[in-house]
């Protein structure tokens, strides 16, 4: 079997006649010796393969272009070069796939904006190799956390008829001929559509997650979610992945405790398993990243009620673009001020005004606020949104009326309150936002393999 390059580099002894495969990252000739850096995506480090002029075919190999796919054979020996333990003394190198001259990843560094336009070769760029390795490791860490604690993963539907967040930002799913749809009383007749009703891509798996929490106690979802919000920011995507745990017999304090240990656990995992990549981000993307992640694991997250957050902002003397006033939602500039300037660590803002949050959140005794929590972190802002759910049927109905929603549309959600309903709570972590936090990457488009944002779905 051909070893992965990470295993070659981590070898504990020299090895005779070893084979490695990968893509040529750089070629450098010095006197009668040529050095090839070979990468295969298994690690940020490259294998240095060395050819000398006596090797068969040397004259041609010297012209191997960057990006070529190669199979190298040789002896792994201790390297005299600094910063690497081993190098491969080539006995043979076969070019399996050559490279046309318009290959866009030649030596020079490209901007992230440019690389987005070539998403078919972007994964070969060093930064993106690191990003997508960490993306993989992060999702494994998520599953490990919940599996270790007995949470059941639920595959909630991607096509749905309910608007969980009630924000009307859904992508419609239809097989009707939109050039000439069936009509009834002037409006489009969705009873003739595929599902016999209007359907959309889900914005959240929460409502279905609640069904399973009230059967299995502790569950989580991890799936794609879709939002047609036309906000062209560095933190919003139209298609993103969300992790949504839901716990029965749990209140807001319990919810917060799970969220805090969850975030700490997945960061610990990444520090342990992706050390090389974190060092790379620390050097090239966000200075101080490693310290930030290491101190997060030890920090105690703050909890600040919304009302207090608003008065902290009012007293701050800062000039904000958007107004700060009790009853208005916090904007990202406010969130970032609180977590970056004021507290300088992750913080939960809890107990938001009822009117600016979703209908399902549990109404507090003051009847003005709900048992909501957002987790804010420096640089990224909100990464988690969650709440205790309204388990009292009368209160739930009052909330539905309050938000002008039709209780009949929520018949099964209401039933859950009548059939052994119990206090329960959960939250949603935006997977890409978490990845931005962990890698220091500043734009959500650069942590998604193929970003879907307003006006953009080329790949
Ligand atoms: O705060 P949100 O809207 O909460 C919910 O959807 C709840 N149903 C979750 C729950 O209680 N089970 O979204 C949760 C998180 C946000 O905190 C943010 O990290 C991320 O999802 N998010 C987005 N990430 C990228 N692009 C977008 N357009 C996002 N919208 C939300
Ligand atoms: Mg939110």
Q: What is the CATH number of the domain that holds 419?
A: 3.30.930.10
Find out whether the beta carbon of 242 lies less than 6 Å from any atom of ligand 1: yes
Q: What is the SS3 string spanning 11-64?
A: CCCCEEEEEEEEEEEEEEEECCEEEEEEECCCCCCCEEEEEECCCCCHHHHCCC
Of 411, 413, 409, 427, the closest CA to residue 214 belongs to: 413
Task: Record the pTM.
Answer: 0.96
Q: Residue 219 above 70 pLDDT?
A: yes
Enumerate the β-bridge partners of residue 316.
none
Domain boundary among 97, 112, 145: 97
Q: State the pLDDT at residue 205.
A: 96
Q: Could you report the per-residue pLDDT of 45-61, keeping only the tens digit for each?
A: 999 999 999 998 999 99
Find out whether the beta carbon of 164 lies less than 6 Å from any atom of ligand 1: yes
First to last CA, the chain: 33
Domain boundary among 97, 112, 135: 97
Residue in 160, 225, 240 to alter for ligand 1 test, most ligand atoms within 8 A of Cβ: 240
Q: Which residue's C-alpha comes closest to atom 18 of ligand 1?
A: 430
Q: Give the β-pairing of 152-153 and 159-160.
A: unpaired
Find out whether the beta carbon of 156 lies less than 6 Å from any atom of ligand 1: no
Judge whether 128 lies within some domain: yes
* Cα of 428 from ligand 2 centre, angstroms: 8
Find out whether the beta carbon of 255 lies less than 6 Å from any atom of ligand 1: no
Residue with tokens 């070529």: 68
Q: State the pLDDT at residue 229.
A: 85
Residues 149 and 91 in one domain: no
DSSP assignment of 74-95 equals EEEEE--STT-SEEEEEEEEEE
pLDDT band at 232 (very low <50, low <70, confident <90, very high): confident
Q: Could you report the per-residue pLDDT of 313-352, keeping only the tens digit for each?
A: 999 999 999 999 999 999 989 999 999 999 999 999 999 9
Q: State the pLDDT at residue 113.
A: 95
Residues 221 and 72 in one domain: no
Q: State the pLDDT at residue 41.
A: 97
Residues 157 and 208 in one domain: yes
Residues 25 and 161 in one domain: no
The CA-atom distances, in angstroms, between 403 and each of 203, 393, 427 are 18, 15, 21
The count of structural domains within the chain is 2
Residues 9 and 147 in one domain: no
Judge whether 79 lies within some domain: yes
- CA angle 375/380/381 to nearest 5° reads 40
Judge whether 184 lies within some domain: no
Q: Residue 308 above 70 pLDDT?
A: yes
Mean pLDDT over 214-241 rounds to: 95
Q: What is the CATH number of the domain that holds 84?
A: 2.40.50.140
Judge whether 13 lies within some domain: yes
Residues 216 and 353 in one domain: yes
Q: Tell me how long the chain is.
A: 459
Q: How far apart are CA 246 and CA 389, in angstroms?
A: 10
Find out whether the beta carbon of 40 lies less than 6 Å from any atom of ligand 1: no
Q: Residue 418 above 70 pLDDT?
A: yes
Of 423, 425, 444, the closest CA to residue 433 belongs to: 444
Of 348, 344, 347, 234, the closest CA to residue 291 belongs to: 344
Judge whether 192 lies within some domain: no
b/e string for 219-256 if b means 16 or more Cβ within 10 A?
bbbbbebbbeeeeeeebbbbbbbbbbbbbbebebeebb
Q: Residue 66 above 90 pLDDT?
A: yes
Q: Residue 255 above 90 pLDDT?
A: yes
The CA-atom distances, in angstroms, between 135 and each of 139, 244, 268, 431, 441 are 6, 17, 14, 9, 12
Range of the domain at 226: 123-167+203-446
Q: Could you report the per-residue pLDDT of 354-378, keeping only the tens digit for each?
A: 999 999 999 999 999 999 999 999 9
Mean pLDDT over 5-31 rounds to: 95
Which phi and psi (to 5°) does residue 20 adopt? -135, 145
Judge whether 256 lies within some domain: yes
Q: Could you report the per-residue pLDDT of 438-447, keeping only the tens digit for each?
A: 999 999 999 9
Residues 61 and 128 in one domain: no
**Quick one: which atom of ligand 1 is closest to the CA of 387?**
11
Dig out the tokens for 36 from the structure.
Answer: 């090839």
* Cα of 384 from ligand 2 centre, angstroms: 7
Residues 84 and 212 in one domain: no
Q: How far apart are CA 382 and CA 396, in angstroms?
A: 26
DSSP state of 151: P
Which three-class secondary structure state does DSSP give residue 372?
strand
Residue in 160, 237, 357, 385 to alter for ligand 1 test, most ligand atoms within 8 A of Cβ: 385
Query: Mean of the per-residue pLDDT values for the chain?
Result: 95
Residue in 211, 232, 242 to alter for ligand 1 test, most ligand atoms within 8 A of Cβ: 242
Q: Could you report the per-residue pLDDT of 155-204, keeping only the tens digit for each?
A: 999 999 877 777 668 999 999 999 999 999 999 999 999 999 999 999 99
Judge whether 212 lies within some domain: yes
**Quick one: which atom of ligand 1 is closest to the CA of 242?**
21
Q: Residue 458 above 90 pLDDT?
A: no
Residues 255 and 382 in one domain: yes
Of 377, 324, 322, the closest CA to residue 349 belongs to: 377
Find out whether the beta carbon of 427 lies less than 6 Å from any atom of ligand 1: yes
Residue 336 CB coordination number (10 Å): 19
Q: State the pLDDT at residue 107.
A: 67
Residue with tokens 């997508």: 132
Find out whether the beta carbon of 237 lies less than 6 Å from any atom of ligand 1: yes
Mean pLDDT over 419-442 rounds to: 98
Residues 151 and 31 in one domain: no
Find out whether the beta carbon of 245 lies less than 6 Å from any atom of ligand 1: no
* Cα of 17 from ligand 2 centre, angstroms: 56
CB 357 within 8 A of CB 370: yes
Residue 399 contacts by C-beta under 8 Å, 6 or more apart in sequence?
359, 360, 361, 363, 390
Residues 257 and 218 in one domain: yes
Judge whether 418 lies within some domain: yes
Query: Residue 361 CA: which ligand is closest?
Result: 1
Q: How far apart are CA 410 and CA 397, in angstroms?
A: 10
Residues 74 and 127 in one domain: no
Q: State the pLDDT at residue 109.
A: 84
Q: Which residues surround ligand 2, an ion (CB under 5 A)?
A: 385
């Amino acid at each position: 079997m051909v070893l992965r390059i990470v295993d070659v580099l981590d070898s504990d002894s020299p090895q005779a006649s070893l084979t490695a495969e990968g893509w040529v990252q750089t070629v450098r000739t010095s006197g009668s010796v040529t050095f090839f850096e070979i990468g295969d995506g298994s690690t940020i480090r490259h294998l240095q393969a060395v050819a000398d002029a006596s090797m068969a075919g040397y004259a041609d190999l010297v012209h191997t272009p960057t990006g070529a796919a190669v199979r190298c054979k040789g002896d792994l020996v201790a390297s005299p070069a600094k910063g690497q333990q081993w190098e491969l003394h080539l006995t043979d190198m076969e070019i399996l796939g050559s490279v046309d001259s318009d290959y866009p990843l030649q030596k020079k560094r490209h901007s992230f904006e440019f690389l987005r336009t070539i998403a078919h070769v972007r994964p070969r760029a060093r930064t993106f190799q690191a990003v997508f390795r960490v993306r993989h490791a992060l999702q494994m860490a998520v599953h490990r956390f919940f599996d270790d604690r007995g949470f059941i993963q639920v595959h909630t539907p991607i096509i749905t008829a309910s608007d969980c967040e009630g924000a009307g930002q859904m992508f419609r799913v239809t097989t009707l001929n939109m050039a000439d749809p069936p009509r009834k009383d002037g409006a489009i007749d969705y009873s003739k559509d595929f599902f016999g009703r209007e359907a959309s891509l889900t914005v959240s798996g929460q409502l279905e997650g609640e069904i399973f929490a009230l059967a299995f106690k502790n569950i989580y979802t991890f799936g794609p979610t879709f939002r047609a919000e036309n906000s062209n920011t560095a933190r919003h995507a139209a298609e993103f992945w969300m992790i949504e745990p839901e716990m029965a017999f749990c209140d807001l304090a319990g919810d917060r405790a799970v969220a805090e240990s969850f975030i700490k656990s997945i960061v610990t995992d990444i520090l342990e398993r992706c050390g090389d990549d974190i060092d790379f981000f620390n050097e090239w993307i966000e200075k101080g990243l490693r310290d930030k992640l290491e101190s997060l694991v030890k920090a105690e997250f703050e909890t600040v009620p919304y009302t207090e957050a608003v008065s902290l902002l009012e007293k701050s003397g800062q000039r904000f673009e958007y107004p700060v006033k009790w009853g208005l939602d916090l904007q990202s500039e406010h969130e970032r001020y609180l977590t970056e300037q004021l507290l300088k660590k992750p913080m939960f803002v809890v107990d938001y005004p009822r009117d600016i949050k979703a209908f399902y959140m549990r109404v507090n005794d003051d009847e003005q606020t709900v048992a909501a929590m957002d987790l804010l972190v420096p640089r990224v802002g909100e990464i988690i949104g969650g709440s205790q759910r309204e388990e009292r049927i009368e209160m739930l109905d009052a909330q539905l009326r309050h938000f002008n929603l039709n209780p009949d549309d929520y018949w099964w959600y209401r039933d859950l309150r009548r059939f052994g309903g119990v206090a329960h709570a959960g939250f949603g972590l935006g997977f890409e936002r978490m990845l931005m936090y962990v890698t220091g990457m500043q734009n959500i488009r650069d942590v998604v393999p193929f970003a879907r944002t307003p006006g953009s779905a080329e790949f």
